[in-house]
Structure 1
């Protein structure tokens, strides 16, 4: 959307759209894999961060990450 030069009429609605939430969930998944591979955080820290991130950026997906 932004890369195509389009501007949303309602940025909050755009950020809350199913597409944006799916993108956010996939981003959290990718960052989780990178952090796990780097061993810079423990499993409890990662789980808490994933939970908080999904609650903020993908609350309507009702999904959790399997790692």
Structure 2
């Protein structure tokens, strides 16, 4: 009967992690850049930083002053 020491368990975890990382599908940077650019262009109309926030939906708009007559 063999019991694993702490260093053996650590090495087994490390090997498992490295195997998982090695199995991840890689993408070339040039292809990832093209995909990212296309995604940004397709979703630009939804981006509030580009299009602005409608005044009615903006919780940070300056408060309107109230005038009592």
- What's the TM-score, normalizing by structure 2? 0.30
Relative contact order (alpha carbons < 8 A, sep ≥ 6): 1 or 2 greater?
Answer: 1
- What's the TM-score, normalizing by structure 1? 0.31
Higher alpha-carbon Rg: 2
